[in-house]
Structure 1
């Protein structure tokens, strides 16, 4: 995971709008949610990356408190998930726009075609393994071309995404990449993941300066003015949580640890619309060969299906929502 706003300050050269203080009321309130409530999109990333990823996401939503997910369209198990989605069209499914292929032995290439987006392709013929590689080698035009190719594949398959976000934060890595991400979202009328409100959690996580914080609000206002919903905040730290010292914790111990971390995270959030990011996986013996993140991802799934987490959410009056719902609400706001 890269820090989403690592390069964000230089965006001031692209957004000339007057910088202002955060919106009052929150975007959640502007969407018609009750004042003072925490409104949460519990979001599962990396669907389509593997069979195990698909199973984890489906279980987290069907048997747990997760509400939304996004799909990595260049990956091998996309058809498997889209076939399931067609039978379950109520799922809130978006695009996890993918410009990187980060694993050593399990990789994927661009959907736009290697000759079309040469700057996105490494010496193995796959997408670059790191965000820094993409920044160094790819042009904004190539990034936009690949965004549109991933959207086109989804639509060709009969999958209309409820939203878009960015795998590994690559589309937040430069002003030009972010501009193309927002441009496509506005033109296609698809909500894009963007925290443009009070940003209480993400300000701490990203160590935002005052200017950077004000700038996120300017971008948020641009998206709102274009008819798209905007997040008040973003919780994006779960992938980095240090697991228990036990090298092979039991499922019960792993579940208890991750559940408490999510409870603590939810408790620390301020009222407003917040997206909480996780990576739920139900691992077979294959997944550890793909990635060293098996425990982290299985722990996320175990937390989502833990009755203790559901009970906490209900006790605290936290409202769970989806990108589909917030877009429907945004369309009703004049």
Structure 2
């Protein structure tokens, strides 16, 4: 069985099941920061990424300054999918950017942004988001992409080159043409991804995950059903491969419900991963957690 070279360098074997369990959207609400911290302490996640344009980002940066050993990256934002909860770009309010609406907010629809955003403005915006994070004392362990927009061909170079430019690892994934993960296949279709570009990044020896999975944010489910779905996903983790599991935990607060979109699923994410049953399931299945801070040491 072929092993992911990153895992081999880290000392894992082809029979080890290894995951990055990753909290997206840290800073979207105050409760997202509490949820991230509590889940780290509970031991059911290993990493997360924060949204610079979101209003609670300074608090997320403060958490990092006070806990510099945590694995916290940046979740690059180029859209804002909420109708009445909005945020703006860091670098510009120009409509020429292609990702700003008539009021200076990020556009809502990710598909529209992936087709209209000007690549040079995209590069400036993600660089500006990094600069804000650094100004607030944060040293991101990695970067990833909100709603997958930076996987679109026109923006993937700016994203993938982040390591060369800034020394920060972008989350990228392998494509095995004989065994494409369904979640990755969905991303390829949604953003017309360039498999040639991904192959070129692999040749540059950039660390890549083999599978991207997670709990569906758009579906609430009963919490017990959500737990069973999480366990089912964990049961299918492949040995010798590096799996990135993304989800969006929030604590149950009035502010969380105020999002008025996907709140139930996000609160369910937190409640599921705070259950001892889920923690025991990880142990029973022999799943070992790593973060991007661990991975970057072997670059």
TM-score (norm: length of structure 2): 0.89
How many residue pairs get aligned? The number is 292
CA–CA separation in structure 1 for the residues paired with 2:289 and 2:218: 23
1:111: which partner in 2? 90
Matched, 1:37 2:16: yes
Matching residue within 138, 141, 163 for 2:117: 138
Q: Which residue of 1 aligns with 2:243?
A: 274
Kindly report which structure 2 residues correspond to 1:178-189, keeping only aligned pairs within 5 A, or say none: 178-189=156-167
Q: 1:200 to 1:106 in 2, by over 3 A?
A: farther
Rounded Cα–Cα distance in structure 2 between residues aligned with 1:203 and 1:63: 29
Matches within 5 A, 1:251-290: 254=223, 256-271=224-239, 272-290=241-259
CA distance in 2, matches of 1:237, 1:182: 25
Cα separation, 1, equivalents of 2:182 and 2:69: 34
Q: Do the aligned partners of 2:94 and 2:104 also contact (CA within 8 Å) in 1?
A: no
**Corresponding residue for 2:199?**
218
CA 1:319–1:144 in 2, change beyond 3 Å: closer, same or farther?
A: same
Aligned to 2:209: 231
- Cα displacement (A) at 1:303: 1.4
In structure 2, distance between residues paired with 1:200 and 1:278: 27
Backbone CA RMSD of aligned residues: 2.4
* Residue of structure 1 equivalent to 2:45: 66
CA deviation vs aligned residue, 1:157-191 (integer Å, no higher than 9, x gap): 1101000000011111x211111111223321211
Question: Which secondary structure does the structure 2 equivalent of 1:161 belong to?
Answer: coil
Alignment of 1:1-334 (within 5 A): 24-27=2-5, 28-115=7-94, 118-172=97-151, 174-196=152-174, 198=176, 203-205=181-183, 206=185, 215=196, 218-224=199-205, 228-241=206-219, 243-244=221-222, 254=223, 256-271=224-239, 272-329=241-298, 331=299
CA distance 1:219–1:298, shift in 2 (3 Å): farther
Query: Cα deviation per residue 1:74-120 (whole Å; 9 max; x = unaligned)?
Result: 11001112112211112100000000111111111111122496422
Partner SS state of residue 239, structure 1: coil
SS in 1 for 2:38: helix
- Aligned to 2:170, what secondary structure does the other structure show? coil
- In structure 1, the gaps of 5 or more residues are 1-22, 245-253
| Contact 1:197/1:230 (8 A) holds in 2 | no
Distance 2:197 2:211 in 1: 11
Output the CA distance in 2 between the equivalents of 1:201 and 1:297.
30
- Unaligned runs of at least 5 residues, structure 2: none
Shift of 1:53: 1.5
The farther-off stretch of 31-40 and 64-73 is 31-40
